[in-house]
Chains A and B, each alone.
Chain A
């Protein structure tokens, strides 16, 4: 490689490393990792409650929850599912404020519990408290003291993330300045004086953030949640579900891997919040009986239909090697990588074959996922593949992931099998080229 090329590569890696280590993106990523069990259980109960059941002769569709609710022995199950949804997806923004603020404060070595609680309070200060009820006679009545779940579920995530990051930044700076820490006289136990350390910074943070949210409300004459949803969240949700955005993410992720950098990890902080919002939007639309307007591309969709066996549709490469590969080394790596690849862990093959910095495999490694993305996206757009409606762990084995993400639709696994077969076909010629190169080496070693 020429000197010029390597310096461009260095710059690329440096830029990627900077994004990967970006403090705020890292806090969002780690915050969502903590929420993973809650998002998954929330998805499971939603899938069960909204399981579609066709009712015989009339041909109309009913949801499982409606049938369960009518049965006096089973109605507890819909309640359980509904309540678990309420406490997980329904309160997602509240949960996210706490975890994101916690990790951001921790990255500064600051008091992370205090930062989390102060951010939570700052967020709750911004939540509208008035509710408007439509009365039977057609008039409306307003009441004070109500929290609308529409502000604290996934729709409120953007405000939640912003307030978690901003109030933690303020709190950390104020506590580090030292001027605001109340000094206790000698003889006061250190534990007590530490509890006073967060006092003034905490008070000032809540006041400052709430001042800003109140002023935004006054100037825009609507609350910050509605404002952000209309101006940022809705356009962002729409464009993040597009094929173009999907192609950019898939291309960059694999380009990063080609240089040996964990691409999916770098984009996790961006994709996770978008994913939760996308899944919640899709679930809501489905429950309302909509047939269009879905957010097609999202992380769960990507995990299920593209990252089968890990980045690069790793399972396709492993099967291709086991089918036609001749080189002993390559077959050994494929066998070694097969078990982890069933859980979408791909590092043994990425580094062992290797794919990283290997000009032969870079082409199918980038091309295969792009084709899989286009096929799955197209299949959803024409209405064949049901839209993604559940958050799944990225380690869910293929076929199962296709079932879960589509709410148990057979079309999910079918598209997965088609994508897998295509990726095998794309990899086969390159496996043969790599074989020739490897055989030459193995031959040379044998004669030497």
Chain B
């Protein structure tokens, strides 16, 4: 099963999106394990998930996180700003699929 980890500052606003993504994935019949972590907790093990998605408000972490997952199979992306704000689960699921096919 595809493991997807979202990261934002406190893991709060992102947990809203996680619910929407879960529903969208379910309705598409895709099995995913989706969860949100705060920056400090995520750093403990960046490569724990197959897909690592940053909330747009912490996109400045991208370069250091990319450094952190070097040499692993984990793929990294930043959630599209509008999709994040409008809690557009389907669009984010598409982004996850695109990332995993990279």
Classify the interface of chain B: helix, strand, loop or mixed: helix
A354 neighbours in B (Cβ, 8 Å):
81-82, 85
- Closest residue of chain B to A27 (Cβ to Cβ) is B40
A310 CB → nearest B CB, Å? 9
Using an 8 Å CB-CB cutoff, how does the interface string of A175-202 with B read, 1 for contact, 0 for none? 0000000000000000000000000000
Using an 8 Å CB-CB cutoff, how does the interface string of B75-88 with A read, 1 for contact, 0 for none? 00000011011110
In the complex, A133 has a CB within 8 A of chain B: no
Stretch at the interface among A14-22, A67-75, A283-291: A14-22
User: Contacts A30-B40, A265-B9, A347-B57; is A352 near B86 (CB within 8 Å)?
Assistant: yes
A6 CB → nearest B CB, Å? 16
Classify the interface of chain A: helix, strand, loop or mixed: helix
Q: Is the CB of A260 within 8 A of B57?
A: yes
Q: State in angstroms the CA–CA spacing of A369 and B19 once bound together.
A: 31
In the complex, A386 has a CB within 8 A of chain B: no
A351 neighbours in B (Cβ, 8 Å):
56-57, 81-82, 84-86
In the complex, A52 has a CB within 8 A of chain B: no
Q: Is the CB of B85 within 8 A of A17?
A: no
User: Contacts A20-B60, A30-B40, A260-B59; is A347 near B13 (CB within 8 Å)?
Assistant: yes
Q: State in angstroms the CA–CA spacing of A17 and B9 once bound together.
A: 13
Q: Is the CB of A260 within 8 A of B56?
A: yes
A103 CB → nearest B CB, Å? 7
In the complex, A262 has a CB within 8 A of chain B: yes
Using an 8 Å CB-CB cutoff, how does the interface string of A255-280 with B read, 1 for contact, 0 for none? 00000111001000000000000000
A262 neighbours in B (Cβ, 8 Å):
8-9, 57-58
B16 CB → nearest A CB, Å? 6
A118 neighbours in B (Cβ, 8 Å):
none
- Closest residue of chain B to A264 (Cβ to Cβ) is B9
Q: Is the CB of B87 within 8 A of A352?
A: yes
In the complex, A82 has a CB within 8 A of chain B: no
B3 CB → nearest A CB, Å? 23
Complex partner residue of B16 from A17, A265, A340, CB under 8 angstroms: A340
A103 neighbours in B (Cβ, 8 Å):
40
We find that the number of chain B residues with CB closer than 8 angstroms to chain A is: 21
Within 8 A of B (CB), among A83-141: 103, 107
B40 neighbours in A (Cβ, 8 Å):
26, 30, 33, 103
Q: Is the CB of B13 within 8 A of A345?
A: yes
In the complex, A77 has a CB within 8 A of chain B: no
B8 neighbours in A (Cβ, 8 Å):
262, 347
Q: State in angstroms the CA–CA spacing of A347 and B57 once bound together.
A: 8
A11 CB → nearest B CB, Å? 13
Q: State in angstroms the CA–CA spacing of A346 and B87 once bound together.
A: 12
In the complex, B12 has a CB within 8 A of chain A: yes
Q: Is the CB of B61 within 8 A of A21?
A: yes
Residue in B12, B56, B57, B84 whose Cβ sees the most chain A Cβ within 10 Å: B57
Q: Is the CB of A16 within 8 A of B82?
A: no
Q: Is the CB of A347 within 8 A of B60?
A: no
Residue in B16, B55, B64, B86 whose Cβ sees the most chain A Cβ within 10 Å: B86
Using an 8 Å CB-CB cutoff, how does the interface string of A341-382 with B read, 1 for contact, 0 for none? 000011111111110100000000000000000000000000
A21 neighbours in B (Cβ, 8 Å):
60-61, 64
- Closest residue of chain B to A339 (Cβ to Cβ) is B16
Using an 8 Å CB-CB cutoff, how does the interface string of A317-340 with B read, 1 for contact, 0 for none? 000000000000000110010001
Supply 14 A–B pairs (Cβ within 8 Å), ascending by A. Answer: A13-B60, A20-B58, A26-B40, A260-B81, A333-B85, A336-B86, A340-B13, A347-B55, A347-B84, A348-B16, A348-B85, A350-B57, A352-B82, A352-B85
Interface residues of B (CB under 8 A from A): 8-9, 12-13, 16, 40, 43, 55-61, 64, 81-82, 84-87
Interface residues of A (CB under 8 A from B): 13, 16-17, 20-21, 26, 30, 33, 103, 107, 260-262, 265, 332-333, 336, 340, 345-354, 356, 395
List the 6 closest pairs (A to B, CB-CB), nearest first: A352-B85, A351-B85, A17-B60, A347-B13, A262-B57, A352-B86
